[in-house]
Amino acid sequence: MVCYFLMLSIGMLLLNGCAVTRDVLEILPRSGQEPDSIEKNYFIVEEDDDVVGRLATIRIEKGDTLPDIARHFSLGINTVSAANPGVDVWVPKAGERIVLPLSFILPEANRKGIVINLAAMRLFHFKRDGKVQAVATYPVGVGTTERPTPKGRMYIARKKFRPTWFVPASIAADHRKKGDPLAAMVPPGPLNPLGEHALYLSRSEYLIHGTNKPASIGLRATNGCIRLYPEDIKQLFEITPVKTPVSVVYQPYLVGWRDGRVYLEAHTPFEEFGTAELEKAYAKLKKIEKKTGDRLDWHKIKTVVAEARGIPVAISAIGAEGEPAARKTIKLRHPVRLYGQPPVPELRTDAWYVLAAIMGDPVEALRLATILNHQGPPISSQVLSKDGRYRVLAGPFKTNGEAKNASRRMRIDLEIDGIVVAPVQHK
C-alpha cells in the first residue's frame, strides 16, 4: 500500500519538480558529413580485398547513450564501447567525439550465404552477381557462456513473419526460479522476444530473429539464438531465401588485405576458448611476412591485440604511403534524432507511476532512468529533482495493473523494489 505522504510527495514533484539534465559541455555546432550518407549495412567487396567500410566520428549530444548511437548506425554496443574506452555507456559527456567502427574485416570463410562471427558479434550476408561480390552486414546478440550459440554449418530451414514463441522447457524453468512464470507460448506482439521476423535454422532449436530488447545487440545475452535489431532483421528477412547456407565461426583476430596493405582487427576473446585463435593469427601474420618479404609492425600488432578495440588497423605499409583519401576517417553530423531513442515521457498527475529510487547523485539517477528506458519492452522513466534529491520515476501508466507489472519487471530483471504511486487526488 502506498502511504499518503508518498503520494503527496510524488504529486508535488509532478506539479513542481524539474526534470534533471546533464551538467555538461555546451553543445558544439553541427558540422561534418550528413550522418545517413555513410555506408553501414551494404558494401561492394573489391577484388583481393578483405576489408570493407570506413571509420567515422560523431560528437555526443546531451541525452545520447552509446546504445542509441550504436543502433542508429547499425552497430553493436560491444563495438561502440570497445572502440571508445572510458566513455560512459549510459551517461556519456556531451561534446565528446567518439569513433564509429563502421569498417570491418570479413571473416575467413566461404563467401556464400550467411556467415556469423561470434567473437565480433556480426553477421555477414554474401551475394555475388557475376564478378561483383556484395555483402550485407549487421550486428547481432549471441548466446551466453552458459547457453552458447553453436559453431558450424547450417542453413535456413524456414521463415516466419510475426512468429509465435513456444517457450523451451529450460527457459521456462529459469523464469520459474526467478518468480517469473511464462506461458507455454507467447503470441506475436511487444512481449514476444522473437520480434516480428524469424529465420529458423536447420538445427531447429536455434533461430536468427528480431528482438524487443534492442539494447542487447552486441552482447552475449541470448539462449543460443542470433538476435538482430528489428529494422535489421526486416532487411535480412527480405533478402534471405530458404536453404541459404549459414556458417557460424569464432574469429576474434581477423587478418585481411586492403589496397595492398595488411590489416588486423582484434576483439576481446571469449574466456572459454583460450588462446588458440591468437596463436593462429600470429602464425598467419608470420606466414604473410615470409611470403611477401616485408616486415610487419609487431609492436603495433601487440598493441592492437591488447586493446581489442574491434577496429581494422594497418600493420604494414606494403604498396601504399599512408591511408588513401577515400579510406580516411570522416566526421559525421549528429542526426536530428537517433533512431529508436526512447522519448522523454510527459508528466501527468492523472496517471500511475512507480518510484524506482531516490538518490543523492544526479548522474547515477540519470543512469538508472536510462537503463529502465532501454529495457525490453522499455519502461519509460525520468529523473525529477527536489531539495537536492533525485527521484527516478517510471511511467506514466494508465492503470494500477500496468504499474504493478512494471514494478515486477524491475524486481525480476534489475532487483529494484519499486513503489507503486497512485494518481494525485484533486479536491
Active site residue 3: no
Tell which residue, 216, 178, 210, 171, has the closest CA to residue 193: 210
Residue tagged active-site, from 225, 267, 334, 374: 225
Report the distance separating Cα 240 and Cα 253, nearest Å.
27
Cell of 154: 547450417
Q: Residue 179 — left, alpha, or beta (φ > 0 → left; ψ -120 to 50 → alpha)? A: left
- Residue count of the chain, please give it: 427
Across the chain, which distance is largest between two alpha carbons, in Å? 87
Q: Where are the beta strands (DSSP E) in 242-296?
A: 245-249, 253-258, 261-266
Write phi, then psi, for 22 (nearest 5 degrees): -75, 135
Report the distance separating Cα 74 and Cα 64, nearest Å.
16
Report the distance separating Cα 82 and Cα 79, nearest Å.
5
Report the distance separating Cα 219 and Cα 211, nearest Å.
13
Active site residue 225: yes
Residue tagged active-site, from 209, 267, 334, 374: 209
Question: Whose grid coordinates read 560528437?
Answer: 59
Report the distance separating Cα 251 and Cα 394, nearest Å.
41
Which are the catalytic amino acids? Answer: 209, 225
